[in-house]
């Protein structure tokens, strides 16, 4: 795309009943690629019956040719670090270097701490544990003899020979999160930023802090890809869109549309409404937009995919 702007779509990987055929996700991803999307993404949780994300990306690797395959976001706490490193390297190899691993450490509430309880990992100092896991992965993917690794949480006297990655140094690792500490970590240690702030000014301010932290760490300008996670639903007008989006939000989060809109970016309304909203974030610095389609209806998801694809030519930095 022009101006180096990328548009992706999140796959709905929840298996809601016996009539759901998860193999249709592959056809959906292929359709997205043919419609001009730059990337397809999967999320990660143990709290709903979903297809395991890295398994799905491995299935998508030979079925697609061009699109980036990403996690939005992967929760490393759910996996043993060495097993996760091998799985990520395998997807990177199978896709010919098209993997981006968006990562998260969870946030307080329904979708955070329970994952740690299920994984039998302490909630405390979760971001430090994530950073150390990333350091281990990069050590394994460095191309140097594996040797040993000793950190605060992870201790390996003799690491096995790792599965190599397609790209030297491994796939890009992006961080989801917008707290001051998350912004500092992103600028210092990660390759991309994937937040969902509800206001463009909040995004712009966060990006300023990331770039400051990146510069202070001696990294090159542009070392961190500024991305954006957004829930989208195209409708006849904004009022009808919000009415259609509300049950999806309630079913997913147990929150009202009004409550979630204070936390996450939600865009609905006419194509012009949504395009205008996305352009505000492009002006604030976003360059890779990941769209979650705000419906659980399979037919509507396909229709919405086409509607969002029609927006792509208009998503440039020009007014």
| pLDDT score recorded for residue 318 | 61
| Whether pLDDT at 92 is above 80 | yes
**Structural domain spans, the chain:** 2-233+255-314
Per-residue model confidence as pLDDT tens digits over 203-228: 999 999 999 999 999 999 999 999 99
pLDDT value of residue 36 = 98
CATH number assigned to the domain with residue range 2-233+255-314, chosen from the 4 options 3.20.20.30, 3.40.50.300, 2.40.128.50, 3.10.20.30? 3.20.20.30
Query: b or e along 141-180 (b: 16 or more beta carbons within 10 Å of the residue's beta carbon)?
Result: beeeeeeebeeeeeebeebeebeebbeeebbbbbbbbbee
Does the model's pTM come out above 0.85?
A: yes
Report which of 160, 191, 161 is spatially closest to residue 174, judged by C-alpha positions.
Answer: 191
Q: Estimate to the nearest angstrom the gap between the alpha carbon of 62 and the chain centroid.
A: 21
Mean pLDDT calculated for residue range 126-137: 97
Whether the per-residue pLDDT at 183 is higher than 50: the answer is yes
Mean pLDDT of 175-179: 95
Give the residue-averaged pLDDT of 29-55. 97
> For the chain, what percent of residues have pLDDT higher than 90?
93
Question: What is d(CA 80, CA 62) in angstroms, rounded to the nearest whole number?
Answer: 26
How many whole angstroms separate alpha carbon 139 and alpha carbon 162? 10
Question: By the 8 A CB rule, do 293 and 12 touch?
Answer: yes
Average pLDDT over residues 116-128: 95
Q: Is residue 32's pLDDT more than 80?
A: yes
Confidence of residue 67 (pLDDT cuts 50, 70, 90): very high
CA distance 242 to 230: 14
- Count of alpha carbons within 13 angstroms of residue 203, beta-carbon side: 29
- Give the pLDDT of residue 1: 37
Q: Which residues pair with 99 in a beta bridge?
A: 69
Sequence-ordered list of residues with C-beta below 8 angstroms from that of 55, at least 6 positions apart, any chain: none
Confidence of residue 197 (pLDDT cuts 50, 70, 90): very high
Residue 222 DSSP label: T
The pLDDT of residue 39: 98
Bigger pLDDT: 167 vs 146: 167
Q: How far is CA 309 from CA 9, 57, 133, 138, 145, in A?
A: 10, 21, 36, 35, 45
pLDDT cut 70: percent of the chain above it: 98
Q: Is the pLDDT score of 182 beyond 60?
A: yes
Q: Which of 290, 286, 270 is closest to 230 using CA atoms?
A: 290
Q: Tell me the average pLDDT of the chain.
A: 95
């Amino acid at each position: 795309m022009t101006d180096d702007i990328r548009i992706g779509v999140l796959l709905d990987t929840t298996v809601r009943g016996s009539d759901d055929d998860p193999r249709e996700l592959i056809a959906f991803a292929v359709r997205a690629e043919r419609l001009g999307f730059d990337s397809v993404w999967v999320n990660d949780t143990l709290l709903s019956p979903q297809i395991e994300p890295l398994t799905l990306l491995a299935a998508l690797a030979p079925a697609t040719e061009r699109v980036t395959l990403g996690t939005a976001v992967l929760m490393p706490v759910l996996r043993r670090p060495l097993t996760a490193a091998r799985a990520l390297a395998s997807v990177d190899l199978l896709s010919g270097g098209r993997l981006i691993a968006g990562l998260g450490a969870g946030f307080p509430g329904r979708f955070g701490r329970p994952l740690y309880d299920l994984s039998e990992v302490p909630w405390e100092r979760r971001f430090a544990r994530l950073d150390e896991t990333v350091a281990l992965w990069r050590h394994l993917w460095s191309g140097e003899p594996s040797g040993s690794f000793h950190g605060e949480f992870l201790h390996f006297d003799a690491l096995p020979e790792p599965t190599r990655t397609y790209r030297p140094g491994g796939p890009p690792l992006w961080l989801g999160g917008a707290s001051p500490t998350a912004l500092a970590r992103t600028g210092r240690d990660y390759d991309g930023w994937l937040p969902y702030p509800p206001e463009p000014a909040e995004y712009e301010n966060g990006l300023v802090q990331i770039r400051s932290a990146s510069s202070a760490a001696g990294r090159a300008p542009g070392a961190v890809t500024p991305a954006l996670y957004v829930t989208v639903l195209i409708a006849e007008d904004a009022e009808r869109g919000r009415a259609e989006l509300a049950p999806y939000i309630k079913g997913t989060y147990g929150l009202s549309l009004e409550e979630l809109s204070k936390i996450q970016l939600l865009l609905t309304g006419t194509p012009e409404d949504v395009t205008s909203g996305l352009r505000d974030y492009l002006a604030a610095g976003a360059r890779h937009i990941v769209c979650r389609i705000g419906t659980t209806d399979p037919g509507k998801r396909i229709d919405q995919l086409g509607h969002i694809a029609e927006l792509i030519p208009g998503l440039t930095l020009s007014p």
